[in-house]
Amino acid sequence: MLYIKKFKRSVTSSVALALMLALPTAFEVPKAHAQQSRDLPEIGTTGAGFMSIEREQVVGDYYMRQLRASAPIIQDPVLNSYLKDVGQRLVRNADNVRYPFNFFWLNINEINAFAFMGGYVGVHTGLIQQARNESELAAVLGHEIAHVTQRHIVRSMQEQQRNMPLTIAGVIGSILLGIANPEAGAAGLYTTLGATGQAQINYTRLFEQEADRIGITTLANAGFDPMGAPNFFGRLADQYRYVSKPPEMLLTHPVPEARISDTRTRAEAIGRRDVPQSLEFELAKARIDARYTRSSPNSDFVKLTQSASVIDQQAGGYALAIRALDANDPTTAQKWLNPLIARNPRNRFYIDVQTDIYLAQDEGEKALNMLQQEYIRSPDDPVILLNYANAAIQSNNAELGVKLLRNYLLSEPDSVTAMDLLTDAYERTADRAAMYETRAEALALRGRFDLAIDQLQTAQNHTQNKLTEKRLNARIDQLRAEKERLKRLL
């Protein structure tokens, strides 16, 4: 379906890097069951005296709002659903989970990922391009989840309790500066962190080892191959051993031979697992390559369609369909998609592209009929619902789009994609008050509280309904209070 990119990459990766450096987390590799109970500290109250779980969530929410406003986050329902599925599979098998986790992609063609307070885990598109299978991708996610569940950020802040108030203020200032001037923001960040960085090194190494051990156990418990961890990190270290500029991940989180060896020993102690090749992993990887990183020529995808592997064949054809669609050639896109749809007509990746092909060919009714049937079967599937809503809006049935999106936002209130679509739907129905109100909520999700309040005040000028006016006034008060609360907190 649509892949909304309202905030283009004007900031580069400095904002994401700021978060990674300011809130020490990273890639590592996990631990085996036999060692876990005696190697890990008592987690229950670790860091509790310094920062409560509730405050941690608020700080995480603040950072996420800043990222939505400035970083190249991909608003792609298909990719987001896939990443969420893999991430939540790991979370269900992790210990000490204190709040919901949120996983998101950044369109940065570098090998990296990061986690921060509140259960937010970001993955660069360049990382999945490097991963050879789903277990390798899951190994990185499991490691990042361990950083969060073990409260490594809070424990690091607790270790630096005297200096941290100044450091937090400096980091936030650098992030905001980076929005307008990436180079100046990065320089300010390095200056801010320089004074405290060296003191963290030994403490952070302990966190990396702990996340390695816990992450590998979570990986195995979730049904992935535990060898995904040493295979990925070992190959990465070998590949960039002699280059002058290794990936950011290896710069900020080096993987020495001893650590790789320890990880491999732990994975082998748990036992290798023969995990079948994942079609969804290959399709996600192909989608990112074809549409976002654009790192492979079409000829590479043609070769995939000629592979002995049926899954590779599908991934190649899927990528070629996307490339043709994005080149405004829906006829060729349909040619590549036809055998895929015939093989698996209910695959979300295929339905998404089929929807866009129909819309590009002005066949909105075909799209609506297809999606209506899928929605009846899977009313809670975000890919189906958001495609259905988008097709309705594009086919001059904005009222249906409004109904679908309002129901979806009841359970997913932080969906920027849904908010942006709903704003469009209200504009088409000429409901100006609702349009401005929804736009305000989308701005609030991006931390733009002042602009959100302006939109709500504009919405008040477009309604004569007293109850609506009272509701809008109450929301304005809430946003003002939220803005002040974050100022006091940070």
Q: Taking the alpha carbons of 252, 114, 107, 312 in that order, is the dihedral positive or negative?
A: positive
Binding-site annotation: residue ranges for Zn(2+): 143, 147, 208
Looking at this protein, which amino acid is placed at residue 259? R
| Confidence (pLDDT) at 193 | 43
DSSP state of 123: E
Which element (helix H / strand E) includes 290? Answer: none
pLDDT above 60: residue 204: yes
Tens of pLDDT, residue by residue over 83-101, are 999 999 999 999 888 888 9
180-189, 453-462, 480-489: which is most confident: 453-462
pLDDT reported for residue 160:
61
**Fold designation for 279-489:** 1.25.40
Residue 27's φ and ψ, nearest 5 degrees, are -90, 140
Name the 3-class secondary structure at 318: helix
- Can you give the pLDDT at residue 126? 92
Segment among 13-17, 231-235, 277-281, 457-461 with least mean pLDDT? 13-17
Query: What is the DSSP annotation of 429-464?
Result: TT-HHHHHHHHHHHHHHTT-HHHHHHHHHHHHTT--
- pLDDT of residue 198 exceeding 90, the answer is no
SS3 at position 126: helix
Confidence check: pLDDT of 199 > 50: no
Is pLDDT of 392 > 90?
yes
Q: What's the confidence (pLDDT) of residue 46?
A: 57
Is the CB of residue 85 less than 8 Å from the CB of residue 139?
Answer: no
The answer to whether 19 touches 175, Cβ cutoff 8 Å, is yes
pLDDT for res 314? 97
**How high is the pLDDT of residue 337?**
98
The residues with which 116 forms a beta bridge, in sequence order, are 120
Residue 25 exposed, middle or buried by CB count within 10 Å (0-12, 13-18, 19+): buried
Sheet strands side by side (includes 102-106): 102-106, 120-124, 113-116
How confident is the model at residue 40, as a pLDDT? 39
Output the six-digit token pair for 31. 């631990």
Q: Write down the pTM of the prediction.
A: 0.83
In whole angstroms, what is the distance from residue 5 CA to residue 376 CA?
Answer: 29
Confidence band of 113 (pLDDT split at 50, 70, 90): confident
CA distance 449 to 262: 47
> Looking at residue 289, what DSSP letter applies?
I
Asked if residue 18 has pLDDT above 50, the reply is no
159 within 8 A of 56, measured Cβ to Cβ: no
Predicted pLDDT of residue 50: 63
Q: What are phi and psi of 107, to 5 degrees?
A: -80, 75
Alpha carbon distance 72, 51 (integer Å): 30
Pairing of strands 120-124, 113-116: antiparallel
- Lowest-confidence range among 23-37, 115-129, 360-374? 23-37
244 pLDDT exceeds 70?
Answer: no
Q: Above pLDDT 90, what percent of the chain?
A: 55
Per-residue confidence (pLDDT) for residue 157, from 0 to 100: 65
Q: What angle do CA 413, 415, 418 make, to 5 degrees?
A: 105
Q: What are the domain boundaries of the chain?
A: 14-270, 279-489
| Gap between the Cα atoms of 11 and 69, Å rounded | 10
42: DSSP letter = P
For residues 175 and 12, give the distance between their C-alpha atoms in angstroms, rounded to a whole number.
12
User: Helix (H, G, I), strand (E, B), or coil: what is residue 160?
Assistant: coil
Give CA separation, 330 vs 151, 338, 360, 362, in Å. 48, 12, 7, 11
Express each pLDDT in 43-86 by its tens digit: 433 555 566 777 777 777 888 888 888 888 999 999 999 999 99
Q: How far apart are CA 123 and CA 114, in angstroms?
A: 7
**Position of tokens 């005296």?**
49
3-state SS string for 186-231: HHHHHHHHHHHHHHHHHHHHHHHHHHHHHHHHHHHHCCCCCCHHHH
- Pick from 90, 97, 169, 163: which is nearest to 123 by CA? 90
* Whole-angstrom distance, CA of residue 447 vs CA of residue 483: 9
For residue 320, pLDDT beyond 80: yes
Catalytic residues: 144, 212
- Of the candidates 194, 197, 192, the residue with the CA atom closest to the CA atom of residue 159: 197
Q: Which of 54-68, 297-311, 338-352, 456-470 has the lowest mean pLDDT?
A: 54-68
Place of tokens 């209910």: 346
Binding-site residues: 143, 147, 208
- Give the pLDDT mean for 261-288: 93
Query: Quick count: other Cβ atoms within 10 Å of Cβ 432?
Result: 15
The residue behind tokens 């594009």 is: 394
The C-alpha atoms of residue 121 and residue 112 are separated, in whole angstroms, by 11
Return the H-helix or E-strand segment holding 113. Answer: strand 113-116
Residue 136: the pLDDT is: 95
Interatomic CA distance for residues 486 and 477, integer angstroms: 14
Per-residue pLDDT band for 25 (boundaries 50, 70, 90) equals very low
What pLDDT, on a 0 to 100 scale, did the predictor assign at position 67?
84
Residue 8 has pLDDT above 80, yes or no: no
- Considering the chain, what is the average pLDDT of its residues? 81
Distance CA 321, CA 330 (A): 8
